[in-house]
Amino acid sequence: MGYRAIVIGSSTGGMEALRIILEVLPKDFPVPILVAQHISSHSDNYLAKFLDNVCKVSVKEAEEKEKASPGQVYLAPPNYHLLVEQDGLISLSVEARVSYARPSIDVLFESAAEAYNRDLIGIVLTGANSDGSRGLKKIKECHGLTIVQDPNTALAEAMPRAAIGATKVDYITPLTEIGQLLNKIIKGKSGDKSGYE
Amino acid sequence: MIHDRCLNNLENEDLEIRFLLEAIFLKYGYDFRDYSKAHMKRRIMHRLSLSELNSISQMQHQVLYDRVFLETLLNDFSINVTEMFRDPPFYKTFRQEVVPVLKTYPFIKVWHAGCSSGEEVYSMAILLKEEGLYERTQIYATDFNVEVLEKAQQAIYPIDDIKDYTYNYQKSGGLTSFADYYIARYDSVILDHTLKKKIIFADHNLVTDGVFGEMHVIICRNVLIYFNKELQNKVFKLFYESLRNGGFLGVGTKESLRFSDYMEKFDTISENLKIYQKKFEA
Ligand SMILES: C[S@@+](CC[C@H](N)C(=O)[O-])C[C@H]1O[C@@H](n2cnc3c(N)ncnc32)[C@H](O)[C@@H]1O
């Protein structure tokens, strides 16, 4: 058993940060990536289009009850929470904002931790609030791998700092190195996850 | 180790949730067993964290013996978040594509399923009024949550939301000024009471109640996302059977007939805005 999914949470400055990370991943990246980026509720899907254009992996807005599949990046649609079911299907929700955010990073991370347990990587990026720290803590408690963008490399450092304060994270990594770190971890670990059991 | 508890607990919690939903169904007839699991778990854990209860099993005991607690859970499970003219392009396309067909009918029946506190229903009432169709329309507005139905009947909404609603109304192709449709009082607005004239509010559960016959239009937005795929299919069947030939079905922007068994039985009016038309049966 290896990692089965990656979840990423980002806010202020996230568009650029996501580009820098996703750009270096190969087209056939072997696990699905689910992203909650804080975004105005009136925006269309320009973020997905933009990232899809500049990245080798395919990027799209997540659709209701579609299966999260490898080589694909799923963005939470504006004004919806993104959740993963235990069978890997995607669910959306319009329930109330969580700490002022919809999509909420915590909602995505908590549901993903339940769905993938230890086979999950959670990443908190730049942002000016503290969304994501509860979710990252939950991922850690379920033995998933936790990565936080080095606050010194973040446009807004509050969110990574809050995440680092909330749990003992595995990697604190400069923005430009996160993509390569993922390539390394996934190559090393997917298909063989020794070190457990 | 605290950390290992997490994994063991997950398995047990899933079982406890199944027992809880089974208990609610057997005792009260409300069936949440085929709702999205991730969604139900969030709502249940949320209620647990607000309550004095120590476990989901205790919650099961509580709900069996305390009817008031059931009402609390029903409110937790039915996400009532709604807006007037939510997704303005939906209404715009409805005006352009559906209204011209409705104009050819002498009498129109519209069903809003999962109408919550009524904002969506009054939006439709305004649209139909502006198109000159309201007087020959009967709207059935249903939800399984009677508390929100009462709110819907009152048609009183917070004044803070009016700015957003006015914006939505304008974007939706509204023909006059949104201010024509409400009176402001302190921190609320009350909608023009003539909008209510053709609306019947009723308690109806999409999971356990039956067909609502011979509709020209069914609107059910942002309800199906809370159901699993099997239940979605079951509800599409209910809608299919409740629609007349050539009747229209509108679902939420993120919901789709596409992955369901009923896709071939409908023509797509707008895939983006999820408006479908029931094909004519031989
Ligand atoms: C998020 S609201 C959607 C309101 C409105 N249609 C909109 O799109 O703005 C979902 C509504 O579905 C209702 N609902 C959930 N399950 C239901 C069921 N089984 N039968 C009828 N209504 C249900 C809830 O009570 C809630 O009011």
> Could you tell me the residue range of the domain that residue B69 belongs to?
2-77
Dihedral sign (CA B151, B111, A94, B161): negative
B68 with B103, same domain: the answer is: no
Q: Which of B13, B48, B77 is the last residue of a domain?
A: B77
Arithmetic mean of pLDDT, A111-131: 97
Output the pLDDT for position A187: 83
Output the pLDDT for position B259: 77
pLDDT tier for residue A193 given thresholds of 50, 70 and 90: very low
pLDDT tier for residue B2 given thresholds of 50, 70 and 90: very low
Is B38 a domain residue?
yes
Arithmetic mean of pLDDT, B149-161: 97
Beta carbon of A96 within 6 Å of any ligand 1 atom:
no
B38 with B154, same domain: the answer is: no
Residue B206: pLDDT above 60?
A: yes
Output the pLDDT for position B258: 82
Domains and CATH numbers, chain A: 5-189 (3.40.50.180)
B98 with B44, same domain: the answer is: no
- CA distance linking residue A187 with residue B158, whole number of Å: 54
In our burial notation (b when 16+ CB lie closer than 10 A, e otherwise), range B200-211 reads ebeebbbbeeee
Output the pLDDT for position B242: 98
Q: What is the mean pLDDT of chain B?
A: 95
B228 with B261, same domain: the answer is: yes
* pTM of this structure: 0.92
B251 with B169, same domain: the answer is: yes
Residue A54: pLDDT above 80?
A: yes
pLDDT tier for residue B1 given thresholds of 50, 70 and 90: very low
Which of B258, B260, B268, B210 is closest to B238 using CA atoms?
A: B210
Write the pLDDT tens digit of every residue in B82-91: 999 999 999 9
Arithmetic mean of pLDDT, B65-70: 96
Radius of gyration of chain B from Cα atoms? 20
Q: Which of B28, B58, B77 is the last residue of a domain?
A: B77
Question: Which residues in chain A touch residue B17, judged by CB atoms under 8 angstroms apart?
Answer: none
At A79, phi and psi to the nearest 5? 75, 10
Please give the share of chain B, as a percent, with pLDDT higher than 90: 92
Beta carbon of B117 within 6 Å of any ligand 1 atom:
no
The answer to whether residues B169 and B85 touch, using CB atoms and an 8 Å cutoff, is yes
B13 with B108, same domain: the answer is: no
B29 with B98, same domain: the answer is: no
Q: Which of A10, A11, A111, A130 is catalytic?
A: A11
Is B182 a domain residue?
yes
Closest chain A CA to residue B6: A142
Is B82 a domain residue?
no
B117 with B257, same domain: the answer is: yes
- HSE-CB at B125 with a 13 A cutoff on CA atoms is 24
- Catalytic residue list contains A81: no
Output the pLDDT for position B199: 98
Output the pLDDT for position B278: 97
Contacts of residue B100, Cβ cutoff 8 Å, sequence gap at least 6: none
Number of domains in chain B: 2
Residue A195: pLDDT above 70?
A: no
Output the pLDDT for position B9: 83
Write the pLDDT tens digit of every residue in B103-136: 999 999 999 999 999 999 999 999 999 999 999 9
Residue B141: pLDDT above 90?
A: yes
Q: What is the mean pLDDT of chain A?
A: 93
Beta carbon of B75 within 6 Å of any ligand 1 atom:
no
Residue A156: pLDDT above 90?
A: yes
The answer to whether residues A161 and A151 touch, using CB atoms and an 8 Å cutoff, is yes
Question: What is the number of the ligand 1 atom nearest to the C-alpha of B116?
Answer: 27
CA of B57 to the centre of ligand 1 (A): 27
Residue A64: pLDDT above 70?
A: yes
B132 with B252, same domain: the answer is: yes
B128 with B249, same domain: the answer is: yes
B121 with B48, same domain: the answer is: no
Is B83 a domain residue?
no
Is B181 a domain residue?
yes
- CA distance linking residue B93 with residue B190, whole number of Å: 27
Residue A14: pLDDT above 70?
A: yes
Beta carbon of B82 within 6 Å of any ligand 1 atom:
yes
B65 with B140, same domain: the answer is: no
Please give the share of chain B, as a percent, with pLDDT higher than 70: 97
Q: Which of B14, B47, B77 is the last residue of a domain?
A: B77
- Catalytic residue list contains A111: no
Question: Which residues in chain B touch residue A117, judged by CB atoms under 8 angstroms apart?
Answer: 7, 10
Output the pLDDT for position A189: 54
pLDDT tier for residue B145 given thresholds of 50, 70 and 90: very high
Write the pLDDT tens digit of every residue in B15-43: 999 999 999 999 999 999 999 999 999 99
pLDDT tier for residue A191 given thresholds of 50, 70 and 90: very low
Output the pLDDT for position B5: 59
pLDDT tier for residue A25 given thresholds of 50, 70 and 90: very high
- ipTM of model: 0.88
CA of B166 to the centre of ligand 1 (A): 23
Residue B227: pLDDT above 90?
A: yes
Is B169 a domain residue?
yes
Please give the share of chain A, as a percent, with pLDDT higher than 70: 94
- Catalytic residue list contains A131: yes
Q: Supply the CATH number for residue B257's domain.
A: 3.40.50.150
